[in-house]
Amino acid sequence: MSVMMKGLTLTPKEQTRLKTMNLVLEGWLGVREAAPVLGVSERQAWRILAAYRGKGAAALSHGNRSSRPANKTSEEIRQQIITLARTRYAGLNHTHLAEMLTKNDKVILSRSTVRNILVGAGIPSPRHRRPPRHRSRRERMPQEGTMVQVDGSYHDWLEDRGPWLTLLLAVDDATGTIPYALFQNHEDAAGYFKLIWGISLGRGLPLAMYTDRHAVFQPPHRPSETVEESLSRERGRTQVGRALRELGISQIFARSPEAKGRVERMAGTFQDRLVSELRMAGIKNMDDANRFLWGFLPRFNERFGVPPANPANAYRPVSPDINLTTILCFKHNCKVARDNTVKYKSHTLQLLPGVSCQSHAGVLAEIQDHLDGSLTVCYQGRVIPTREAPPRPGTLRTCNNAWNSSFSILPKEITDNFVCEDDDLKIKVERASILPEIPDRRPTTKQQARWEAVQEAKLRGLSLRAIARELGISRNTVKKHVVATSPIVYPPRVTAG
C-alpha cells in the first residue's frame, strides 16, 4: 500500500528505502549493512544516501514518475477510435476493427490496444463467445460386462532390453478390472482379434466395446468418395468392426481421449508398475512378456478392482453355434476364375469339386485368412475344399531363368561340383565351403541419417504415424527403422552375366 508524504506518494519499496536511510542517518545502521536490505551494491547505496541528503524523500522515487510514456496512444487517436467504433465501424469485433483502422484510416494499433480503448469507453465486442460447457464425471456402468474400453499403448515396455511393444488393453467399465491384455509388435487388427478372443474365452462376450477412432476400428475419410459413400454405413466397416457385429457386440466410438479416460489412465498405471516388474523379472522378448503379463493381471485386478453396483454378470457365454475361428479372421471377397482358382496375396488356391461336382467359376467367394496363417474359401456359408494350385508356365520359366542365372555367376570350379540325382531330381553341392562370401556392406549416409532420425523421434514418444508425417516417409519404412538396432543395409542385387 502506498503512503502519502508531503504531497508525494511512496510505494512499498520506496518506503523501505526511506526507513533504511533514516536508520543510516541516525547511526543505527551502516551503509555496508544497508546495501543488502535495499537490494543494491554498496556504491549504489552511497549514491542513494547522497541523493536523500540533498533532495529528501523525493530522491527515493523513480525518475520517470509523472512523465508521459513514449509509446502511449494520444488522446486524439483514442477519441477517433471511439467515435469510429460507434458510427462507421459499429458492430465490428475488436480484431476486425483493428484491421479496418490499419487499412482505411492508417491507424496502426494492435488488437489488444484497440480492445483496451473500447472496453475502457464501455464498448464491448459484439461477438459473444460461447460459455464453456459444463462437464461432469460419468457414472460407471452398473453391471460387469456391460461395456469394455479397449486401447493400445505403444511404449518402451522392455526399456533397453528389447524392442518397443504395444500393449493392447481392455478395461471393464463397471469394475475397473482387466479381462484380458496382451503385447503385440503393433496396434493392428490381428492383435485386436486376439484381444477379443481372450476376453470371450476368459469372461465371455461383453454387450458393448468403447474404442477410439483408430483406423483399425474406423477407416479415415477418402478424398475420392462421394457424399453418399460417406453417409453410408458400409464405408465404416473394418475387419474388427465386422467381427464385433457378428459377435453381437455394440461398438461405441469415443470423440476424445478424455471420453475413454478409464483405459487411458490404466495404461499410465501399467507403464509405471508393469515396466518395473518386467525389469525385475529380466524379461527381454515379447513371448516372455506376455506370459508374465497374464500372471500379473490377477494380482492387479485384486488390488485395483472395485465392486459393481449390480452384482449380476452381463458377460454372455460363447454359444456353441459361434465359431470364433471363422469370425475373428480377415475376410475378403474374391471372384473365382474360369479354372476354379482364386488368388489371395501370393497364393493361388485351386477349388476342388464336391459331391455335386459343381463349377464355381464366376461366383464371388469369400476367403478367410485365419490368425494361424491358414486360408479357407467359403461360398454361401459352405466351406469349399482347396489345395495349392499348380504354377503357371510363366512362373516356371521365371524360376528356370533365375536358376540358370544363379549358376552362370558362379566360378567354374564350383559348378563342376554340382551333380544331378536322377532319382528325385535334387541338386546337391559336395564342396559348399568354396562358395564366395559376400562382404558386409556399410550403410549409406541417407540410411544412417534416416535411422538416427527415426530413433530420435521414437525417444520423444511420437507414434508411427507422427514419425512418418514428420520425416515424409511411409509407415512401413518407419516400422522397419523403429525395430532395427542399427541402420538397415539392404543386400546387393545379384544380376546375371
Q: What is the pLDDT of residues 470-494, one digit of tens each?
A: 888 888 888 888 888 888 877 665 5
* 80 close to 107: Cβ distance less than 8 angstroms: yes
For residue 93, give its domain range: 75-120
d(CA 139, CA 143): 12
- Can you give the three-state secondary structure of the chain, one letter per residue? CCEEECCEEECHHHHHHHHHHHHHHHCCCCHHHHHHHHCCCHHHHHHHHHHHHHHHHHHHCCCCCCCCCCCCCCHHHHHHHHHHHHCCCCCCCHHHHHHHHHHHCCCCCCHHHHHHHHHHCCCCCCCCCCCCCCCCCCCCCCEECCEEEEEEEEECCCHHHCCCEEEEEEEECCCCCCCEEEEECCCCHHHHHHHHHHHHHHCCECCEEEECCCCCCCCCCCCCCCHHHHHCCCCCCCHHHHHHHHCCCEEEECCCHHHHHHHHHHHHHHHHHHHHHHHHHCCCCHHHHHHHHHHHHHHHHHHHCCCCCEEEECCECCCCCCCHHHHCCEEEEEECCCCCEEEECCEEEEECCCCCCCCCCCCEEEEEECCCCCEEEEECCEEECEEECCCCHHHHHHHHHHHHHHHHCCCHHHHCCEEEECCCCEEEECCHHHCCCCCCCCCCHHHHHHHHHHHHHHHCCCCHHHHHHHHCCCHHHHHHHHHCCCCCCCCCCCCCC
Is the model's pLDDT at 436 over the cut of 70?
Answer: no
> Binning pLDDT at 50, 70 and 90, where does residue 231 land?
low
Is the model's pLDDT at 206 over the cut of 90?
Answer: yes
- Record the cell numbers describing residue 433, joined without a space: 565351403
Domain shared by 398 and 384, yes or no: no
- Record the cell numbers describing residue 126, joined without a space: 459484439
The number of distinct structural domains making up the chain is 6
Write out pLDDT tens, residues 282-340.
Answer: 999 999 999 999 999 999 999 999 999 999 999 999 988 899 999 999 999 999 999 89
pLDDT of residue 466: 86
Domain shared by 235 and 288, yes or no: yes
Domain shared by 239 and 287, yes or no: yes
Angle among Cα 187, 165, 454 to the nearest 5 degrees reads: 90
Residues 6+ apart with CB under 8 A from 380: none
Provide mean pLDDT across the span 222-250. 73
- Record the cell numbers describing residue 403, joined without a space: 536358376
Write out pLDDT tens, residues 19-75.
Answer: 888 888 888 888 888 888 888 898 988 988 888 888 877 777 777 777 777 788 888
Write out pLDDT tens, residues 59-88.
Answer: 777 777 777 777 888 888 999 999 999 999
* 397 close to 362: Cβ distance less than 8 angstroms: no
Write out pLDDT tens, residues 100-151.
Answer: 999 998 888 999 999 999 998 988 887 777 788 887 778 899 999 999 999 9
Mean pLDDT of the chain: 83
Domain shared by 308 and 295, yes or no: yes
Domain shared by 172 and 185, yes or no: yes
Is the model's pLDDT at 4 over the cut of 60?
Answer: no
Of the listed ranges 205-209, 411-415, 442-446, the least confidently predicted one is 411-415
Q: Is residue 236 part of a domain?
A: yes
d(CA 42, CA 35): 5
Domain shared by 238 and 360, yes or no: no
pLDDT of residue 403: 52
- According to DSSP, the β-strands at 143-144 and 8-10 are unpaired
Domain shared by 193 and 241, yes or no: yes
Q: Is residue 240 part of a domain?
A: yes
Domain shared by 22 and 171, yes or no: no
Domain shared by 213 and 171, yes or no: yes
pLDDT of residue 409: 46
Domain shared by 180 and 305, yes or no: yes
pLDDT of residue 423: 44
Q: Is residue 104 part of a domain?
A: yes
Q: Is residue 159 part of a domain?
A: yes
* 204 close to 298: Cβ distance less than 8 angstroms: no
> Binning pLDDT at 50, 70 and 90, where does residue 2 land?
very low
pLDDT of residue 413: 46
Task: Supply the CATH number for residue 24's domain.
Answer: 1.10.10
Domain shared by 384 and 457, yes or no: no
Domain shared by 163 and 206, yes or no: yes
Is the model's pLDDT at 426 over the cut of 60?
Answer: no
By percentage, how much of the chain surpasses pLDDT 90? Answer: 40
Q: Is residue 477 part of a domain?
A: yes
Of the listed ranges 219-233, 417-431, 436-450, the least confidently predicted one is 417-431
pLDDT of residue 303: 92
Q: Is residue 66 part of a domain?
A: no
Question: Edge-to-edge strand order for the sheet containing 330-335?
Answer: 330-335, 364-369, 375-379, 382-384
Q: Is residue 320 part of a domain?
A: no
pLDDT of residue 399: 62
- Record the cell numbers describing residue 181, joined without a space: 491384455
* 163 close to 255: Cβ distance less than 8 angstroms: no
Q: Is residue 138 part of a domain?
A: no
Q: Which residue has the higher pLDDT, 487 or 10?
A: 487
Is the model's pLDDT at 183 over the cut of 60?
Answer: yes
Write out pLDDT tens, residues 375-424.
Answer: 999 998 889 999 988 887 766 766 666 555 554 544 444 444 444 444 44
pLDDT of residue 353: 84
pLDDT of residue 136: 79
